[in-house]
């Protein structure tokens, strides 16, 4: 039976269930234990699993990411929490040069089943160094899988799948949406990695997004419907591997696509999707694929500039009308 719970509770359930199922799974990161997590995602886990499996680390991302990678190569299944993916920049050597390359460097003799997780993207007035969106950064690296979620049901199902996966996974959340609620089944389930979901059926244009921008796309679709424009909304859920099949099938129906992406426009996720669609669905397009991204600048602190910097429903609606009336 489904229940309505928050994103943070869904993530906690996933981690706790997997830790009960497999004694090799453990959680480590800054403030995950005594403080119950910076965003209370790990609340109560120390009490249940103890300090050997829920481990507070020093403020040293490179160090504890490296410990996690070594543990994974030696048969354990670490979950490494970054308080924010902005801090994970300090651990990129371990993520990019060690975790991602373990399988190829060992000629297949070793895997690195590790989950790096934490919030990505903007979160209000946190300014330049704490507001970057990392999906495109990590998806550029062969050997890494990248998941980015907004829905609590997906969060639980994909986290459980990620913990069981043999490859290193970057699991992206949103600091602003840990309290976001949704239906989550009580019974055991897994959500497949690499499969997008159609959040809203439509016939006139396809809106593609992920993480909290999926909510922006859905908001735009609701407003467009009031004007008689039917928008299909696809939530990618997994950035790498990308679910091209679902995207192409949608474009075959709608003939137009707008990608809503919090990444910067240059070399971002939206740029890759635009390329993939022109390669695999060019004959179905009646207009160029259009992108709605964050501004191509670092994020300022002022709240008015934060609002201007981010994609929003108004910008999405404007882009939709441009692709609809391109030949008018």
What's the CATH fold of domain 197-324? Rossmann fold (3.40.50)
- Beta carbons within 8 Å of 55's beta carbon, 6+ residues apart: 26, 27, 28, 29, 32, 33
- In order of 44, 138, 139, 231, 237, the CA distances from 85 in angstroms are 23, 10, 14, 32, 17
Q: Region 208-219: what's the mean pLDDT? A: 97
Q: Region 111-139: what's the mean pLDDT? A: 90
Let me know if 17 is a catalytic residue: no
Let me know if 130 is a catalytic residue: yes
Q: What is the pLDDT of residue 327?
A: 60
Structural domain boundaries in the chain: 2-185, 197-324
Percent of the chain having pLDDT more than 90? Answer: 91
- Beta carbons within 8 Å of 299's beta carbon, 6+ residues apart: 122, 126, 127, 128, 131, 132, 305, 306, 309
Which one of the listed residues 130, 173, 218, 232 is annotated catalytic? Answer: 130
Q: What is the pLDDT of residue 328?
A: 54
Contact assessment for residue 72 and residue 63, using Cβ atoms and an 8 Å cutoff = no
Overall CATH class of domain 2-185: alpha beta
Q: What is the pLDDT of residue 309?
A: 87
Which one of the listed residues 61, 135, 262, 272 is annotated catalytic? Answer: 61
Question: Exposed (0-12), middle (13-18) or buried (19+): which is 261, by Cβ within 10 Å?
Answer: buried
Q: Region 170-189: what's the mean pLDDT? A: 96
Among 21, 113, 51, 105, which Cα is nearest to 76's?
113
Beta bridge partners of 232: 206
Contact assessment for residue 258 and residue 315, using Cβ atoms and an 8 Å cutoff = no
Element (H, E) at 103: helix 102-105
Q: Region 8-32: what's the mean pLDDT? A: 98
Q: Region 111-134: what's the mean pLDDT? A: 88
**Cα dihedral 141/145/146/152 (nearest 10):** -170
**3-class SS string, 249-268:** HHHHHHCCEEEEECCCCCCC
């Amino acid at each position: 039976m489904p229940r309505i719970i928050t994103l943070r509770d869904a993530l906690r359930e996933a981690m706790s269930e997997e830790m009960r199922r497999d004694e090799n799974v453990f959680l480590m990161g800054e403030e995950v234990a005594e403080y119950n997590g910076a965003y209370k995602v790990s609340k109560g886990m120390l009490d249940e699993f103890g300090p050997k499996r829920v481990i507070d680390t020093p403020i040293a991302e490179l160090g504890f990411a490296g410990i996690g990678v070594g543990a994974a190569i030696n048969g354990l299944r670490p979950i490494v929490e970054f308080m924010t993916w902005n801090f994970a920049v300090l651990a990129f050597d371990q993520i990019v040069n060690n975790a991602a390359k373990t399988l190829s460097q060992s000629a297949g003799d070793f895997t690195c089943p590790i989950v790096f997780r934490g919030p990505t993207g903007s979160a209000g007035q946190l300014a330049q160094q704490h507001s970057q969106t990392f999906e495109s950064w990590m998806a550029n690296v062969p050997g890494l899988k990248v998941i980015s979620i907004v829905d609590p049901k997906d969060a639980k199902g994909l986290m459980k799948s990620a913990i069981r996966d043999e490859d290193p996974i970057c699991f992206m959340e949103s600091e602003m949406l840990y309290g976001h609620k949704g239906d989550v089944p009580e019974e055991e389930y897994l959500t497949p990695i690499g499969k997008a979901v159609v959040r809203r059926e439509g016939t006139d244009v396809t809106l593609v997004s992920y993480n909290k921008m999926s909510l922006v796309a859905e908001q735009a679709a609701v407003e467009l419907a009031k004007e008689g424009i039917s928008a299909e909304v696809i939530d990618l859920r997994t950035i790498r591997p990308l679910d091209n099949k679902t995207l192409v099938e949608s474009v075959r129906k709608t003939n137009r696509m707008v990608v809503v992406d919090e990444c910067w426009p240059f070399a971002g996720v939206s740029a890759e999707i635009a390329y993939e669609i022109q390669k695999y669905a060019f004959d179905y397009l009646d207009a160029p694929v259009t992108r709605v991204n964050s501004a191509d600048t670092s994020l300022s602190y002022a709240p008015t500039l934060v609002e201007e910097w981010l994609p929003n429903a108004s910008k999405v609606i404007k882009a939709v009308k441009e692709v609809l009336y391109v030949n008018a």
